[in-house]
Amino acid sequence: MITTLKFLPAFFLITILLLSCTEPEEIISPTHYSRVPRPQNLSATVDTTDSGTKRVSISWTVPTTENLRNFELYRAKNINISFASRVITEELSFVDTNFVAADSVAFYFVLPNGVDRFVGQASDTLRVSLNQ
């Protein structure tokens, strides 16, 4: 009888824990991804300026301009280097000429910012070979 009494508190504790659990609730999906349009079709062309420096012309599209304040264009000259950003307003393109002769590749992605201060989903990252 005494050994049965030892397990009685543990039994009550487990029973209370099991009975107090509720059904799992669905996680609310973030609305900022659907509030701000995602940049799509990110593309780039590479050419050379008159002074001989490399020039990358980047363009993208958005399904709608509703709730769109501006874009942030992020660029890295090497995959191991962090991305630097630049704010672009009312344009769906950017021309980048900030390269040195040793640069051989650049990575870009575009991040949209909404009028309601929500940050949208970033575009896919584009790898651009500068040795074309």
Domain hosting 72: range is 34-129
Predicted TM-score of the model (pTM): 0.72
Confidence of residue 38 (pLDDT cuts 50, 70, 90): very high
Instruction: Give percent above pLDDT 70 in the chain.
Output: 89
Domain assignment present for residue 26? The answer is no
Confidence of residue 74 (pLDDT cuts 50, 70, 90): very high
CATH code of residue 88: 2.60.40.10
Q: How many domains does the chain have?
A: 1
pLDDT at 80: 67
Domain assignment present for residue 80? The answer is yes
Average pLDDT for residues 93-98, to the nearest whole number?
A: 88
Domain assignment present for residue 41? The answer is yes
pLDDT at 126: 93
Q: Is the dihedral of CA 79, 58, 89, 40 positive or negative?
A: negative
> What long-range pairs does 4-13 form, CB within 8 A, spacing at least 24?
none
pLDDT at 124: 93
Residues 6+ apart with CB under 8 A from 88: 70, 71, 72, 73, 94
CB 107 within 8 A of CB 126: yes
